[in-house]
Structure 1
Amino acid sequence: MKHHTLCFGLFALSALAALSACSGHGQPPAPPPAQVGVVTVEPQSIALTRPLIGRLAPYLSANVTARVSGVLLRRVYTEGSEVKPGQVLFEIDPAYYQAQLNNDLGVLGEDEATWLNDRVNAERYHKLLPAGSVSQQTVDNADATVRTDAAKVKADQALVDSARVNLGYTKVTSPIGGVASQQQVTVGAVVGSSTSDAGSGGTLLTTVNQIDPLYVNFTISAADLLTLREANRRGNVALAQQDQTTVQIVLPDGTPYDQSGVLDFSDVTVNATTDAVNLRARVPNAQHMLLPGMYVTLNVNLGQQHDVFLVPQEALQRDTVGAYAMIVDAGGKVARKDVTATDNAGTDWIVTSGLTAGEQVIVSGLQGAHEGAQVKASPWHAPAAASPQGSSAPAAGAQSAGNAQ
């Protein structure tokens, strides 16, 4: 019995020694480094664009008003059609103005006949004066009468010219070429030319707008403009000249307009109400696809940004400090880089500071990339284009992250 107990004790001690040996020398294998996808960034120059909101306006716009009073007899043009400069649009009853012209012509003819007769008499007196048949006073009086008659003829001619102008105003013409709008007064109505009739010199009959090309009016904040000019002075940004600044319009359905515009006006004062500077661009509109009054989105190309880095949207993160990116250093470890990224180009952020050339920025695998951790880097490749339903997501994310400095 004692022999069996001793044997059992020796067996137990051997088992404990074996377990002790295993626990002291057998360590579990260390986990492999996390796999991350990286892009190697290099400085480059890209277009400096700003998304803005603008409103379209006609290149030329003219109110067609009545310049004489009378009854509107007819509308000659087709509403909404193209008209040419000088084309007749309306006709006002010309009877009164024709009669006035005829009367003035009659007075002119009568005074011209009087002037002619008096001139003949004056010439006769000049021939008789050397012979002493008439006095010098008679000759002088005849000359004075001729001069008075000539002045009356000139005044009568002015009245005739004025009557002809008024008669011509009974045919209301277009002052410019463009699209004639809907008529504002019906046929048979009495229209007037005085300020009391319409408050602006005459009854408004219609409006003609030239819509090829069009103007697009927009604004940029004074702070942004000063920042851009300071960057231009430092050399980080090369601003384009006014006639070289292009504008790309985005239609309400999200598609870009097939022709770009050119900036043709930049104000030199800041609007005290909006704290913005007024700008204007000229846009071709041969197909009349764009209409005055429309609000449109603009992508304004203001110049070039130099020595910036394009980083995929997925690579940038934010915290209370600001925007930052994780990179893989020369030792294969993860490091944090605080960056400045306020603009985007497509699905990439434009990083203006915080990175250096040749750094490997982590794009994928960020969940396992902790600062100081060892990782295994491989080149990152952009995924295939997303479906149209999801195409707006990156832009929304870009806008929310773009405020981080």
Structure 2
Amino acid sequence: MQSMSRATIFVSVGILALSLLLGGCDKKKAPTPPAGPPEVAVLTVQPQSVTLTTELSGRTSPWQVAEVRPQVAGIIQKRLFTEGAEVKAGQVLFQIDPASYQAALASARAMLARAEANLLPAQLRAGRYQELLESRAISQQDHDDAQAAVKQAEAEVAAARAAVENARINMQYTSIAAPISGRIGRSSVTAGALVTANQDAALATIQQLDPIFVDVSRSSSEILQLKRQLAAKTLQTDAAGAARVKLVLEDGTPYPLAGTLKFSEVSVDPGTGSVTLRTLFPNPEQLLLPGMFVRAVLEEGNNAQALLVPQRAVTRSPVGKPMVFVVGAEEKVEARTIKVLRTVDDNWLVEEGLNPGDRVILEGIQRARPGTVVKTVPFGAPAAAEEKK
């Protein structure tokens, strides 16, 4: 009896489970709403005025530089300047022992006095001979000899005066003066050193640092591109046509004063293919020192109709050309090949391939391929921001 009860229970449970299963299959599944087009964030391209700049590495060089060398030989008696200080043109820097040059000057003056003393009797004799010649008391030869003696005495006087002037100049050269104003460096000699005229080693170097040059290099291809843009009037300069230059120091801080582009080299360096540009900066505080590494920012001009696209929107085609995805007619995605000129901050400056009003996709392109219909929202809108999160 117990066996029959268990069998009856098992059959009842099976029937119940089967009825529940068949009832569940009879229920209809709720329909899924159709998915809408993918949403993308777009940026509408509009022309804008952009100041085009180029950052180039360069080094500073002094406005003027002069190496101080002796022009006469002698012993240095004393140094008359402080190393690293400012000196003025004509300021005495070194003093050479002048004793021998003083003696030479005195000797030259004595020779001049003797020559002038010999000239006077020669002139008197020539005058008397002129009177005697008129009365036929002397021969023509005696008269000519007297005139020649006067000329010779005058020549000796002139030579003596030149010797005096030369001795005076050498005497003056014993005081070695600064040829230019500027900051003087360290001295290569001390008191007691023997120096010679026009020696190879300079006694000191003077550099004028206000203003100061900054020399930078630019490739010849970039120079040609800049000239083409100016010819096509896509770039605008000021009335004087001069380019303004800004400076960034080694530590990344901007230099407070602006400079100007002075000239570019007239030839291209065949080794590097670059052209040297020389810029000039005021340096009243002498913050810039010769040989310092800096970065010059050249303001090439202004493009009033520039089309800028964020770099994040630009990809590369299979052949390596830059391209963007835009939303075209009927809200469909299009791949557009573009031509870019350069970077401007975090944007690309587009030369060809885009027109004002084009909508460039910045976010959501992974969900929309060319030909796909999409829903657009402005880049940075709340919906796009939430989706990005």
**Count of residues paired in the alignment:** 367
- Highest CA radius of gyration, 1 or 2? 2
The aligned counterpart of 2:3 is none
Using the alignment, how far apart are the partners of 2:119 and 2:205 within structure 1? 48
**Deviations 1:16-40 (Å, cap 9, x if unpaired)?**
8845xx36xx541123444433221
The aligned counterpart of 2:371 is 372
The aligned counterpart of 1:286 is 284
The answer as to 2:113 corresponding to 1:109 is yes
Using the alignment, how far apart are the partners of 1:17 and 1:379 within structure 2? 47
Gaps of 5+ in 1: 384-405
Which 10-residue stretch deviates more, 286-295 or 357-366? 357-366
Using the alignment, how far apart are the partners of 2:365 and 2:111 within structure 1? 99
Residue 130 of structure 1: CA displacement? Answer: 3.1
CA contact (8 A) 1:75 1:91 kept: yes
Q: Percent identity?
A: 37
**1:193-272 to 2 correspondence within 5 Å?**
193-194=197-198, 197-198=199-200, 203-237=201-235, 244-272=242-270
The aligned counterpart of 2:48 is 44
Residue 263 of structure 1: CA displacement? Answer: 1.3
SS state at 2:121 partner = helix
The aligned counterpart of 2:356 is 357
Residue 309 of structure 1: CA displacement? Answer: 0.9
Q: RMSD of the alignment, in Å?
A: 2.9
Residue 78 of structure 1: CA displacement? Answer: 1.1
Structure 2 residue identity aligned to 1:375: V
Alignment partner for residue 310 of structure 1, among 296, 302, 308? 308
Structure 2 residue identity aligned to 1:145: A
Residue 314 of structure 1: CA displacement? Answer: 2.7
Residue 153 of structure 1: CA displacement? Answer: 0.7
CA contact (8 A) 1:240 1:302 kept: no
Using the alignment, how far apart are the partners of 1:117 and 1:28 within structure 2? 138
Using the alignment, how far apart are the partners of 2:202 and 2:211 within structure 1? 25
Residue 319 of structure 1: CA displacement? Answer: 4.7
The aligned counterpart of 2:138 is 134
The answer as to 2:139 corresponding to 1:124 is no
Residue 146 of structure 1: CA displacement? Answer: 0.5
Query: TM-score of the superposition, structure 2-length normalised?
Result: 0.85
Which 10-residue stretch deviates more, 207-216 or 257-266? 257-266
Using the alignment, how far apart are the partners of 1:12 and 1:379 within structure 2? 53
Gaps of 5+ in 2: 1-11, 383-389
Residues 377 and 324 from structure 1, CA distance in 2 versus in 1: closer, same or farther, beyond 3 angstroms? same
CA contact (8 A) 1:220 1:278 kept: yes
Residue 315 of structure 1: CA displacement? Answer: 2.3
Residue 259 of structure 1: CA displacement? Answer: 1.5
CA contact (8 A) 1:266 1:277 kept: yes
Which 10-residue stretch deviates more, 223-232 or 165-174? 223-232
Residue 336 of structure 1: CA displacement? Answer: 2.1
**Deviations 1:103-144 (Å, cap 9, x if unpaired)?**
011001000111012112212222333344433332222111
**1:59-138 to 2 correspondence within 5 Å?**
59-138=63-142
Using the alignment, how far apart are the partners of 1:240 and 1:354 within structure 2? 30
The aligned counterpart of 2:148 is 144
SS state at 1:259 partner = coil
Which 10-residue stretch deviates more, 372-381 or 136-145? 372-381
SS state at 1:253 partner = coil
The aligned counterpart of 2:58 is 54
Which 10-residue stretch deviates more, 242-251 or 48-57? 242-251
Using the alignment, how far apart are the partners of 1:28 and 1:268 within structure 2? 75
Structure 1 residue identity aligned to 2:272: T
Query: TM-score of the superposition, structure 1-length normalised?
Result: 0.82
Residue 377 of structure 1: CA displacement? Answer: 2.4
CA contact (8 A) 1:262 1:282 kept: yes
CA contact (8 A) 2:249 2:293 kept: no
The aligned counterpart of 1:400 is none
Structure 2 residue identity aligned to 1:272: P
Using the alignment, how far apart are the partners of 1:217 and 1:79 within structure 2? 27
The aligned counterpart of 1:395 is none
Residues 13 and 285 from structure 1, CA distance in 2 versus in 1: closer, same or farther, beyond 3 angstroms? closer
Residue 152 of structure 1: CA displacement? Answer: 0.8
Residue 15 of structure 1: CA displacement? Answer: 4.7
Residue 175 of structure 1: CA displacement? Answer: 1.0
**Deviations 1:187-222 (Å, cap 9, x if unpaired)?**
11100015xx42xxxx41000001111111111112
Structure 1 residue identity aligned to 2:345: G
Structure 1 residue identity aligned to 2:204: T
**Deviations 1:219-270 (Å, cap 9, x if unpaired)?**
1112222233334444444578996122211111212211222111212211
Residues 12 and 180 from structure 1, CA distance in 2 versus in 1: closer, same or farther, beyond 3 angstroms? closer
Using the alignment, how far apart are the partners of 2:53 and 2:21 within structure 1? 80
The aligned counterpart of 2:178 is 174
**1:374-389 to 2 correspondence within 5 Å?**
374-381=373-380
Residues 68 and 381 from structure 1, CA distance in 2 versus in 1: closer, same or farther, beyond 3 angstroms? farther
Using the alignment, how far apart are the partners of 1:330 and 1:277 within structure 2? 47
Structure 1 residue identity aligned to 2:360: V
Using the alignment, how far apart are the partners of 2:239 and 2:79 within structure 1? 47
The aligned counterpart of 1:335 is 334
